[in-house]
Structure 1
């Protein structure tokens, strides 16, 4: 490739930055239920909404299509990909494998991990618990990622972060139900206490039960629940 063609093949830094921004904003709209499975839109719709040109928007949409969030339709634009519940179950199974291995390593480690931040968040009186669904969903992700990271294997942590992102949308939907918030606080506290006391078998049993309960909630997702979760304008 000539030097001139090589220059053309590499997007300018500003263009890459805009494409990254568009990517993050559209993905956030999916995770925040502003864009629901089946919703259709055009590149122009997104470009106008984000106040960008179509080129970085197109790059962002194709990136999201490669990652499985969107699908492109010949001459009729884009749509949010319908939920693939079989794939979600596979991700939950992988998540469980990674977290059980991490908690086992954490409980068996010679040096105790610093779990003070988790204790300050989850071992609190009922009156001090958060109730806003999106905030609790973010804390829930943080709890599980912190346990995996504390186990000390960066490659497992990286894989776990990727899995966490792929199930984020259905996991957040789980927290639109008030009783799931209370259950999450109770179950996280039990898991955390078992880890602190180095009760490996108990921690694994509680963790598996916790993840299986969340996985079971995914099977109950209905179109009505999705549209109820969409923010009102």
Structure 2
């Protein structure tokens, strides 16, 4: 799988409003999730400090947090490297996602406004356009955005905090897209089916139909689980 370039200087500008240790944490985390840093890649304090033009202290703090989240691991005699993907953790993530997202869509049926529904429609329209251009990386970002909007429409302060920790399935999504042609063909028909489920969710929100929304999101999560576990067989 070909590794994509990641421009730390540009990303530092993006997170310039945040404390440096948090900015470095987010930059490296995004690079791992998006497949710019692959399992087994080495990460050193000196290299990151040079890339970010800073001392090793904020880098050390960022790497410690990444290790706590399971994205990095220390290998004796080798140093720190990007952690492999853990199948059991993936299973656990989808188990909790089904519970959290069923709760989120049920609450959104009660609380979502017409403006909120329109935002979900715009997001889905953009996703449909990415299908036509085969820009699945952009589409994956839009998919994440769609689900994050639903979390916010649930009105629950803790939803976003909990779901920020559910990064493993996103990581596999990006790897599966970037592995096209080298790992296995990316299934655009599958992607289209999941986008149609977004449209069904929007319809359920407009109708304030909790049962339909919960059934749709559970199917959505389950189909994602099957897709991701199938891809794991190719890694």
TM-score by length of 1: 0.76
Please say if 1:159 is aligned against 2:162.
Answer: yes
Please say if 1:93 is aligned against 2:99.
Answer: no
Equivalent positions of 1:1-233 (< 5 A) are: 17-107=19-109, 109=110, 112=113, 114-122=116-124, 131-163=134-166, 165-175=167-177, 177=186, 178-222=188-232
Residues 80 and 197 (structure 1), Cα distance of their counterparts in 2 relative to 1, 3 Å cut: same
Indicate the larger mover: 111-120 or 68-77.
111-120
1:70-122 residue CA offsets vs partner (Å, 9 max, x unmatched):
01233421111111111111111111111111222333x27756311111232
Alignment coverage as a number of residue pairs: 209
Indicate the larger mover: 38-47 or 147-156.
38-47
> Matches of 2:123 and 2:138 in 1, distance apart?
12
- Provide the alpha-carbon RMSD of the alignment: 2.9
> Matches of 2:111 and 2:56 in 1, distance apart?
54
Tell me, yes or no, if the aligned pair for 1:131 and 1:181 is still in contact at 8 Å.
no
Flag structure 1 segments of 5+ consecutive residues without an equivalent: 1-15, 226-233
Tell me, yes or no, if the aligned pair for 1:19 and 1:60 is still in contact at 8 Å.
yes
> Matches of 2:104 and 2:30 in 1, distance apart?
28
Residues 184 and 38 (structure 1), Cα distance of their counterparts in 2 relative to 1, 3 Å cut: same
> Matches of 1:223 and 1:35 in 2, distance apart?
20
1:48 Cα deviation after fit: 3.1
- Secondary structure of residue in 1 paired with 2:175: helix
Tell me, yes or no, if the aligned pair for 1:191 and 1:207 is still in contact at 8 Å.
yes
Flag structure 2 segments of 5+ consecutive residues without an equivalent: 1-17, 179-185
